[in-house]
Amino acid sequence: MPSTTFCKSLCAAAIGVMSLTLSAQAAEVRAVAKYAVTLGGTQIATANVSLDDTGSTYSMAVDAKISGLAQLVANGTARLESTGNSTGSGLRAQKFDIVTHASGEDFSVAITYASGGVASFVVTPPIVNNIDRVAIERKQLTAANDMAASFVLKGGKLDKSLCDRKLQIFTGVERFNLSMRYTKDDVATSKRTGYQGPLVLCSVKYTPISGHYTTSEVTTYLAASERILIWYAPLAAPGYFIPYRAIISTEAGDLSVVLTDLQQ
């Protein structure tokens, strides 16, 4: 796989599982979080996440970059910004932007949302639409959210009911669903991470809807995968839960994203 394509895919995947935000119903909440990304046990990327929630609106910025030994085969950075409404049922994006830079090339996506769905989107440079790409239909975007806001879960408490949901996500390039189900209760004990305490483990089923290429080995692999896992941890604000760890099995080993620091 060319290094440019690898970096774009890595940045999108890493930011997807790293993306979190938080909200408060009556008071402003701010936080800074850090994640580390490893592949086969070797660190390949890091991300810093800044979060701000006023109680009715939220904003989030994620800065990710290739790090460690991965710099020997690819150099890249990504910047993501997500803003929208914070409600009792979850976060709904109004605007989503991402810019990646890899091997001297820039790639950007800008999405606006209205009435709970996608209003417009621009991809630069445009994605090539050939016979192998599944066309994106307007009806598939009516209930889609961005890949950052989708990963914050809201619920009554940290239990199995937290995993009972389907995330409908649009990245500007692809539309897909993530169906979640409860796997088990767990506990984070490592002092090297940004949280120690109870967790809930959710298994995830990836279902491509549109925008992907039927010949894509990555899409085919993810759709068939039985090992996409996300551990959720509670925030200090009651009723809010964020990814503590995520794992996707790949042919090169586990792609793992772990929360290393959280300041609330």
pTM as predicted: 0.85
Q: Report the C-alpha gap between 89 and 232 in whole angstroms.
A: 17
- Secondary structure (H, E, C), the chain: CCHHHHHHHHHHHHHHHHCCCCCCCCCCEEEEEEEEEEECCEEEEEEEEEEEECCCEEEEEEEEEECHHHHHCCCEEEEEEEEEEEECCEEEEEEEEEEEEECCEEEEEEEEEECCEEEEEEEECCCCCCCCECCCCHHHHCCCECCCHHHCEECCCCCHHHHCEEEEEECCCCEEEEEEEEEEEEEECCCCCCCCEEEEEEEEEEEEEECCECCCHHHHHHHHCCCEEEEEEECCCCCEEEEEEEEEEECCEEEEEEEEEEEC
- What is the span of the domain harbouring residue 143? 3-263
Return the pLDDT at 219. Answer: 94
Considering its fold, how many domains does the chain have in total? 1
Question: Can you give the pLDDT of all 264 residues of the chain as single tens digits?
Answer: 434 444 444 444 444 544 443 333 444 778 788 999 999 888 999 999 888 888 789 999 999 988 755 544 456 899 999 999 987 777 899 999 999 988 788 999 999 999 889 999 999 999 988 899 999 999 999 999 999 888 888 777 899 999 999 999 999 999 999 999 999 999 999 999 999 999 999 999 999 999 999 999 999 999 999 899 999 998 888 778 889 999 999 888 899 999 999 998
- Give the pLDDT of residue 252: 83
CB contact at 8 A, 67 and 78: no
The reported pLDDT for the residue numbered 6 is 40
